[in-house]
Amino acid sequence: MRIVPDKSWIDIPRIDRWRDNRYKDGINQFIQYALADPRKLNSNVVYCPCCWCKNRALVDKSDLQKHLISGFHEEYKYWTFHGEGCLEEMELMADIGTSGGRIDDTRIDDTRIDDTHTMLADMLTVPNIDQSDYAEDADESGNAGGVTDHEELAQIMKLIADNENDLYEGCTEFTRLSFMLRLLRIKSLSGMVDKYFNMLLVLLRKVIPNGKESIPENYDNAKKIVSVIGLNYNKIDACPNDCILYYKNNKDLQECPICGVSRWVQRKNYSTHGTARSMFKQKKIPAKVLRHFPLIPRLKWLYMNKDTAKQMRWHKEERIDDGKIRHPADAEAWKHVDRTFPSFANECRNVRLGLSSDGFNPFGIMSSGWSTWPVVLTPYNLPPWLCMKQPYMILSLLIPGKHAPGNDIDVFLEPLIDELKQLWTEGVMTYDTHAKQSFRLRAILLWTINDFLAYANLSGWSTKGTYACPVRGPEFKGLYLQHSRKFCYWFNRRWLNIKHRYRTKKWSKFFDGTVEKRDAPRPLGGDQIVHLLERFPAVRFGKKRYSKEDLLGVRNLRINKRIPKRKRQAQAVSDGAEVVKLPSGWTKFSIFFNSPIGES
């Protein structure tokens, strides 16, 4: 068993590190500890925890020492990338049924370290796994297991069996599962294409003894191992003009019912001996695909680990409530939800979420004009030093480019909104491995965090032009400056006392020459927005980027024609033969208002 060395040298100030021998000795002890980790990719390279790399680069021993001399990452106090935390593991009994599903606390040998083993052990720490328990309502019996589906339970049991079996007879370093996860990790880090990965699997099946049983045939079968853990995602086809998703009632359509553009790209048969039948058999390629990462399984997995399940209660059980704002639970929005929905607030394990979205260029070249939009959710139940960390940020949607969705982002948010509705109205049965009981998990979306441009796309309020203030709404109107051709918002005298001297005629010459008699504009509440916009028909989403006659190519979706720039107009909605314009400042009725909370 390896002993974790002393870490006090990490807190030595940078000024004193050059003179203090404890820092150099600590670096040497860390290097020895990191190189002794049997989980590293090979015997030469490890992750570098210096203040520049921050465990994002693999280096050898010599480069590691050079990097650490410049500075150790001060926040890296728990060495998870170098083997800490995996020595204390749970070893499942061979026959779970005879032991009632309980797991004994035993120590295993250091050569068989596997974090997945501990995670799966936490999932199955369920008293009395019996089929009759699943037939009853978990709210009444309280004995429903962490895995509420028999098929899911069978998959996890098979996963544990693969984790118990050696890769081949006599192998003490890898199990079938750990070796496959290691291969998938190498593929992800190196950017290996599927074709070469399949070739590697074919070679390993021939080289490794009994490889046909322990190594999958191709990459698709290897991904099924990860999908059991809950890391899969759904592909949903979308219209290239962002009109609709081929989702729910539109799932079987072959072309967009709004713009008429085909769902598929055009494919050409480059073979000189190809026939019409071979072209007919070719697999169709969708023109645009939305990646949807289901939110509900990821929220349930937060409670599948004992430590994380305990941290999800932190905001209620361990947070210091002294009137100071240190956590979103101290904010007024959190307290407003608690007062408005007391039944939701009574269960501290219900999840409070924040949503953020913005466009970025995945290729790192800003001049290429590509914009991909991820939609990320943050669970705020966790303490502040965890909830904003990358491992706990949940990627829910990945909206493809090359063009930004703009005001049509509501089309792509539909799968996520459906999940949020289910989590609010019905909830899902989840097993808490820390409390060792089942409960009905619910979730609420507290707010969105965006820049001003993305805020306009999500909220439906135009953040530019005459009515740019999203808080005051149409009561705060900007003034257009003709010579500079810009809008100016200088009516700050409205917030002064009604008898203030700056409001009078005497002082008006220092402002715009008028006497200010208006009161301060009132903030626009959510109930007022819903009441204002719910009587208008739905906005017709979509752009006119591609027409029905355009043939979308395989390589890209660019059409060699230039669309003339048109003057901006107010968003209009159609109600039969009549065209109805939305109120001033509004571009749509946002999909976030079409929720159970907005309707109540």
CB within 8 A of 86, min separation 6: which ones? 39, 113, 114, 115, 118
Per-residue pLDDT of 87-115, as tens digits, reads 433 333 333 333 333 334 333 333 333 45
**pLDDT of amino acid 412:** 94
Cα-based angle 353, 355, 359 (whole degrees, multiple of 5): 160
Per-residue pLDDT of 569-592, as tens digits, reads 544 555 454 556 777 788 888 888
Query: Residue 131: pLDDT above 70?
Result: no
Per-residue pLDDT of 549-573, as tens digits, reads 776 765 555 554 445 455 445 445 5
Per-residue pLDDT of 257-282, as tens digits, reads 988 888 998 765 544 444 444 445 56
**pLDDT of amino acid 97:** 34
CB within 8 A of 148, min separation 6: which ones? 134, 138, 429, 431
Phi then psi for residue 373, to 5 deg, are -115, 105
Query: Residue 137: pLDDT above 70?
Result: no
Query: Residue 599: pLDDT above 70?
Result: no
**pLDDT of amino acid 272:** 47
**Mean per-residue pLDDT of the chain:** 77
Torsional class of 490: left (φ above 0), alpha (ψ -120 to 50), beta (otherwise): alpha
The C-alpha atoms of residue 524 and residue 446 are separated, in whole angstroms, by 17
Looking at this protein, which amino acid is placed at residue 165? N
Share of the chain above pLDDT 70, in %: 75
Which of 93-97, 338-342, 450-454, 518-522 is least confident?
Answer: 93-97
Query: Residue 598: pLDDT above 60?
Result: no
Hey, which residues does 535 pair with through a beta bridge?
none
Query: Residue 395: pLDDT above 60?
Result: yes
E strands present in 503-582: 572-575, 578-581
Which of 114-128, 291-305, 532-546 is least confident?
Answer: 114-128
Per-residue pLDDT of 336-393, as tens digits, reads 999 999 999 999 999 999 999 998 887 766 666 788 999 999 999 999 988 888 888 9
**pLDDT of amino acid 116:** 54
Number of H helices, E strands in the chain: 21, 14
Average pLDDT over residues 521-525: 82
**pLDDT of amino acid 596:** 56
Phi then psi for residue 480, to 5 deg, are -85, 125
CB within 8 A of 518, min separation 6: which ones? 491, 494
CB count within 10 Å of CB 50 equals: 20
Which of 79-93, 365-379, 447-461 is least confident?
Answer: 79-93
Phi then psi for residue 264, to 5 deg, are -115, 160
The per-residue DSSP string of 342-374 comes to HHHHH-TTSEEEEEEE--B-TTS-GGG---BEE
Query: Residue 292: pLDDT above 90?
Result: yes
Average pLDDT over residues 427-437: 87
**pLDDT of amino acid 267:** 63
The C-alpha atoms of residue 398 and residue 409 are separated, in whole angstroms, by 11
